[in-house]
Copies of this chain bind each other. A is one copy, B any other.
């Protein structure tokens, strides 16, 4: 294998994932272009990378000679990107999605893979990429190795994961991260009505979070539904309405069923 087969890359997308991945890649692999349909976003991200990174908003201007193409767009948009770039079959193509099978590239690109950072990103919140688990898949073993090597430069936590495992990880991450954050939004809303906010719950949240280091979440469950304390559940439901009441009822029922049936 060539010592550094990925000298240059093109990043397609300028959203939450691309905004962290492109700057992390750039010391190892020259990011020559950033594409976003919203030109301002492409400008912003290429500015973060510096050097001679070119912002583009039209896929017709895509560089045909990059060693690596990173498609980092909403899952819904990956196929459209592949169709719009059907004229380019140079280099190694990867997407960064937890949910899309590696086969999406089959018949469309000769060399392909997946470069999935298992982390939640927001554009303006710095993330230590070194600790982000990078889950890699390659269309061939050789391309998997090339991608593993690149991933190993930006993260200390790299592993091969096929599409089936990646999908399960993504579902788990939706529960453990996206849904968890949404629960915090509900709590914050409830507290705002009393002139408080979620900061008063920080010690509780820290403890809840620390607990999973010492016991399984199954064993760490507490609260009215875990205790089967229906009186409290009904009292709380009486104070909630709309989405909050629906969520409270369903989750209390499911916790109750998990521990009492």
A contact residues vs B (CB 8 Å cutoff) = 16, 74-76, 99, 118-122, 125, 127, 131-133, 157, 164-165, 167-188, 190-191, 193-194, 196, 198, 200-201, 203-209, 211-212, 214-227, 229-232, 235-236, 239-240, 243-244, 246-248, 250-251, 254-255, 257-258
Contacts and interface: CB of A to CB of B under 8 A. Distances in A.
A198 B179 contact: no
A211 B157 contact: no
Contacts of A258: 182, 185, 243
Contact of A254 (B127, B208, B243): B243
26 contacts: A75-B224, A75-B231, A75-B232, A76-B229, A119-B207, A120-B204, A120-B222, A125-B214, A131-B203, A164-B194, A167-B235, A168-B194, A169-B196, A170-B236, A171-B236, A171-B240, A173-B201, A177-B201, A178-B222, A179-B183, A181-B208, A181-B221, A185-B258, A188-B218, A198-B212, A209-B209
Contacts of A175: 183-184, 186-187, 190, 244, 247-248
Question: What is the count of identical protomers in the complex?
Answer: 2
A119 to B, nearest CB: 5
B247 A250 contact: yes
Nearest to A176: B187
A42 to B, nearest CB: 19
Nearest to A251: B179
Nearest to A209: B209
Nearest to A184: B217
B191 A172 contact: yes
A223 B66 CA distance: 30
A251 B247 contact: yes
B204 A165 contact: no
Given A132-B203, A181-B217, A188-B217, 5 more contacts: A118-B203, A169-B194, A171-B248, A176-B183, A176-B184
A244 B99 CA distance: 17
Contacts of A223: 120, 174, 177-179, 181
Contacts of A131: 203, 206
A40 B232 CA distance: 27
A151 to B, nearest CB: 14
A204 to B, nearest CB: 5
